[in-house]
A and B are shown apart, each in its own frame.
Chain A
């Protein structure tokens, strides 16, 4: 690799969290709140530059949660240099091409991997399962869903363009394998929904 190539690659590193301690705490608090009240739209209130193909919330959550022991799998459309370099530089994350080993998978709504291949955890360690982060086009168009389960008193209505039938089927299947299963974070720009494995989704048909 000559020095020009190196420079070009390096120039694609985006700034990390500007105030790592307080910003990571803010984002982590939002994630906790989102996970304990599934279906509630949460917002990442930190403003900064992020790689073009990643949404703001995706980048902020990645910088908050990932560290040197994290295995990350990027879907083909997101596996570009500036994402890989920025996350490697700031979080020290290990990028793995193997989807089975990944602790986190980041993908776009039209680029979702085969969910059955993801690590579902084990009976003894269900916490070791994979979390999938899906970047969606919109939370204001697309079908409505009714979410129910732990953390939701009655039902919550959410609207999201990124929940397809494969994801719905997999979530149904997951209910039979509890406590194993995968958790989902749906992201659109700075907003996100956290849907743990326990949340049941029913699609609304008008």
Chain B
């Protein structure tokens, strides 16, 4: 797993709920021996967004973020970050991240967990977009005046 693949994996896991993760990954935390380096903890992070026209960054507001780090018996370190306060979810993310660092396991996790989750996220986004699109209003300027 290279850095880009790891970023991709963590991004997908962070966007997936614990329920979705468990529906694709059929193991429990107890199946593995690991030590928490940083137990799950929840804090606040300032979310920054950009304005539509000029791209100026602005502070959207604070969101709660939960994170944790753990180390497998075999030495791999995994980290989990996610929006919200689900401590179980970040433990799962960190564990999967650590497991994916073992060469051959990454392939299996990719096909069994990451790709299905990616599909789920895409479906969800599509559904959301379709819903939002129904509320879209098109503004048009009616040109007034005789010389138009």
Which residues of A in the span 7-29 have a Cβ within 8 Å of any Cβ on B? 7-8, 10-11, 13-16, 18, 20
User: Beyond A13-B69, A13-B71, is A7–B37 a contact (Cβ under 8 Å)?
Assistant: no
Chain A residues near B128 (CB-CB < 8 A): none
User: 11 A-B Cβ contacts within 8 A?
Assistant: A3-B2, A7-B75, A7-B76, A7-B77, A8-B75, A11-B76, A13-B37, A13-B71, A14-B37, A16-B37, A89-B38
Interface SS of chain B: helix, strand, loop or mixed? strand
Residues of A in contact with B (beta carbons under 8 Å apart): 3, 7-8, 10-11, 13-16, 18, 20, 89-90
Given contacts A15-B38, A89-B37, 15 further A-B contacts (CB under 8 A): A3-B1, A3-B2, A3-B3, A3-B101, A7-B75, A7-B77, A7-B101, A10-B77, A11-B77, A13-B69, A14-B37, A15-B36, A15-B37, A20-B41, A89-B69
Kindly state the interface size class of chain B when it binds its partner. Answer: 10 to 19
1/0 contact string of B29-52 vs chain A (CB within 8 Å): 000000111110100000000000
Complex CA gap A111/B35 in Å reads 33
Complex CA gap A3/B1 in Å reads 8
Q: Are A15 and B75 in contact (CB under 8 A)?
A: no
Residues of B in contact with A (beta carbons under 8 Å apart): 1-3, 35-39, 41, 69, 71, 75-77, 101
Complex CA gap A90/B41 in Å reads 12
User: Beyond A3-B2, A3-B3, is A13–B77 a contact (Cβ under 8 Å)?
Assistant: yes
Distance in Å: Cβ of A15 to nearest Cβ of chain B: 5
Complex CA gap A14/B76 in Å reads 12
Complex CA gap A18/B70 in Å reads 12
Complex CA gap A134/B124 in Å reads 57
Taking a contact as CB atoms closer than 8 A, the residue among B1, B2, B3, B75 that contacts A11 in the complex is B75
Chain B residues near A18 (CB-CB < 8 A): 39
Chain B residues near A8 (CB-CB < 8 A): 75
Interface centre among B41, B76, B77 (most CB of A within 10 A): B77
Chain A residues near B71 (CB-CB < 8 A): 11, 13
Complex CA gap A11/B76 in Å reads 6
Chain A residues near B35 (CB-CB < 8 A): 15
Complex CA gap A175/B75 in Å reads 50
Complex CA gap A15/B1 in Å reads 24
